[in-house]
Each structure stands twice: as structure tokens, then as C-alpha cells.
A and B are shown apart, each in its own frame.
Chain A
Amino acid sequence: MPTRPVTVRPGRMTDVTGTPARTSPAPALIRAADVDALVVGVSLLGSGGGGDAVTFAGVLRRRLGDGEIALISPDDLPDALTGGHVVPIGVVGAINVLTEKLPSGREFRDAVAAVTRWTGRRADALMAWEAGGLNGLSGLVAALDLGLPFVDADLMGRALPRLDQFTWAVRGRPLTPCALAEPSGPILVVDSAEGADGAAGANATGLERTARSFVASAGGWAALALCPTEIGEATRDTVTGSLTRALALGRAHATLDQAPAPEAVADALDARVLATGRIVDVVREGMGRGFRRGSLAVVDTASGAVLRLEAENEFLLAILDGELTASCPDLLCVLDRRTAVPRAVERLRVGDEVMAVVLPGPEWWWQDEAIDHVSPSAFGLDAPAVRTAVAGTPVVHTGGPR
């Protein structure tokens, strides 16, 4: 099915509504030439996980063609969107399967159609519910597919493995009704996911269970479109500007030389280098809670310091010489030593020369009631969240359960 790229230009909308042009900076525009930078950026937000964005990069590049798409800031909405409804969208399931079972191209359209039909609300714009990894790109692909504007707000600000780690879920907002569309055709609308007890967080957990059994019985992944929500209401509890940040990170990364010095990488990405050296050990514990658990160790070539990274899909915890140094929700990333390209947890092997860095994570999560959902203890690791101060010493967050 042919799709027409939709370009949302603030200038044109100004013309439509007749209001004067805004004074705030113009929203970032994504063109085909920006896709590579965006892939690096969303991979950094993926923190070693979130799925391989490269899979969607080709799709995005084709959809963009010669056109462009704007990353509309919720703080700077064009009037045409004010009062409109936005649908958070993304891909759930075993996202690594995507490389084996390719999208048919209808999943996003089907999911959005199902959830709008069920709720009787229009979708005026799309947003991503996850900004790290391939979902950083899938929302843009969906927006181009459906010809809808894209709002740069999301429910994670990075990659996270579970639906109860949506900012909405943390705020107690239901994720239903929503729709799941599976590449081989079946579409599932979930109207409610609470159990009989209606316990807090039960909605997200219930949806997680439902989604999981759906994708497991089908192709391994599905597009998930949440309920169309009034934009102001929708973006109230979200992380904003994640893709703008990803683009900026990717562009800064592109300025790096071949085989850059760790300090240069830290400067460009506003990151802190944890260790630069060889991977000496990789432990994979198989499937814990349905996710791949693992750990890897890097010995810093210069200092001999031992860095250990604990991972569950994403990197969760950094232990430097036995001391907790950084953790989720900050962005722990392992970069190729030579190219500084972010590498996925499951691709790393003993003997690889790497550079481990930490970038500040989304500010939204460092709120007392939110941090417990993404601190290492939320993943079963017996450690508090450790906040990275890029210049200075890490801060152990005391808001954790322990």
C-alpha cells in the first residue's frame, strides 16, 4: 500500500490558523540524512537494549524519501493540534524477532484503527511510548504511514523492558483501552486489564500478561497503540524531547574522529567514562522473568580498574572496583572502542575492546515516587539507584526501597 509522507511544517500551520509565528525555536526536523544520527541517538537511549534500531532505520529512510517529519514539542503545539488526540504507539514483544519476522507494514495502521474505532476518538497525532532502541524509530515510521504529526513525548524517555514502567502506569493511569496488531493479521483490543482486586499497577501488569501471551501465540511481536488521549492530558505525565535529544546525541556523535579518545566521547555525549578496555568475562544466566539476564566485566586498560555491568535486556547497574557507580535510569552504554558505536548487550563477547560510559537518564524518573519503578531493585537487583553526576561523584539515591 503506497504511503504518502506527511510533512508537518509549523509555518504552514501558522498560515492555516492565521495566528502569528511563534518565537520559540523551530522543532527539529528529521530527513533521510538524519536517520543514521537518530539511530545512534536512540541506541544510546536504549542503554544496550530496546531492540536493534537499525532494523527500522531502512524502513524510516524509505518512508521519508525526500520529505521530512517534525518532532513537535508538547510545550510548543501548533494550534491545529490543540485539543486533539494523540495515540502513543510502539512495538512490544521479542523485538529481536523483528529481524526474522519482518513487519507487513499494516501493523501500526491496524492497531491505531482498532483503538480509535473502539474508543470512538480520532487520532490526530502519534507519539512513541518508548524512546530507546527501535521504538525510538517505530513511532516515526507509524506517523509517516498514517500521515499524522508526531509529538516528541514518550512514556519512558529511554528503553525499559516492562509496561508497568510506562510513566502513565507509574502515575496510576490505565493503559487500556488499547490495541495490539500482529504482523500476520490478528488484532486484539484490550478494554480493561485489571484483575478483580483492582490493585494499584494491576492494569499495567495485567496488560503485560495479556500482551505477552498474545505475541507468544502469534509472531513474537505486535504493534501496541494506546488509547487516543487529549494531547495536553496525554503529555502531562511523560518524558518530553527524548527524540530531539537522541538526534542531538547522534549529531554530536557524528562529529567524533575515528578511534576517538574517551575524553572526546565524554565531551561530545555529555557522558562520564567508566572504563575503557577489554571485556574479560560475560555471564548469561538465561531467562530471568522472561528477560535475558547477564553480566559483563571490563578491565580498564590504563588503570586496571574492574568494571562490572549487570544487565537485563538493558544495562542496569555499573560496579567499579566493587563500588556501585551508576545505575538505571541513567543510561549505561557500551561503545565500540574504535568506532564509538553503541553496542547491544547480547552482541558483546569476551575479548571485545569497548568503552563503557554513562549518560544522564531522563529527569522524570528521578522523582521519589517514580524512581522505585526503574531502580536496580525494580529488576531484582539488591541495589539502590545511583545517579550520575557527569562532573563529580555519583549520588546514591535514597528514595529506593532499601
Chain B
Amino acid sequence: MRDLSPTTDKDAASLAMENELLRYETLHLRARLAGVERRLVAANQELRRVSAAPAPGRATAVAAPGPAAAPQVDRSRNDLVWLLRRLDGSAGRWVVRRFSGFRDLKARYLEETP
């Protein structure tokens, strides 16, 4: 295989000139990329600001839970159903059934849940 390492001063000088050329070009491209990234960040911030601002003349609606909150809601519902069944099957069921709040929760969750 041919030896690619510089063997003369002229080779080294040529490589140094090429190195400087590529270094300048790289620095220029990095600066340009940084400028594009700064404009992108500014554009995203402006987009979020415009999206968050309420539309004029329209009442602010209560935000519904997003898709990210759905697993937590399901888990809380299952815990509540489990707790109601435990209370309704316990020895003190005759006492708690006297409370209207327990009867409402039992009607709302146990009778709707299969």
C-alpha cells in the first residue's frame, strides 16, 4: 500500500494550506448553522406565545385533560371502584350505606362498572 503520510516539506505545506481552507469553511458553516438554529428557537417561542394567547372576544374554556393524563385517570377510577367494593362488602356496610354520599358514589361507579 502506498504511504499516504507527508514525506516532504512541500507535502506538509500543501496539507497545511488545505487544512486552513477546510477550517475556514467549517467555521463559516458552523456559524451559519448556529444562526439558523437561533432563528428556529425564536420562531418556536413566537409560535408558542401566539398559540397560548386567548383569541379576542372568546371565553377561556376549561382545558380538558390531555392524552398524557388518561392513564392516571383510569388508575384513579379503578382504585375508587376497588375501595367502594371493599366498603360495600365489609362488615360495616350497613353503616356506610346510611350516608347519601356513599350511595351516590356506589350508584355512579359500581352500578356503571361491569
Q: Do A and B bind each other?
A: no
B residues sitting closer than 8 Å to A (CB atoms) are none
A residues sitting closer than 8 Å to B (CB atoms) are none
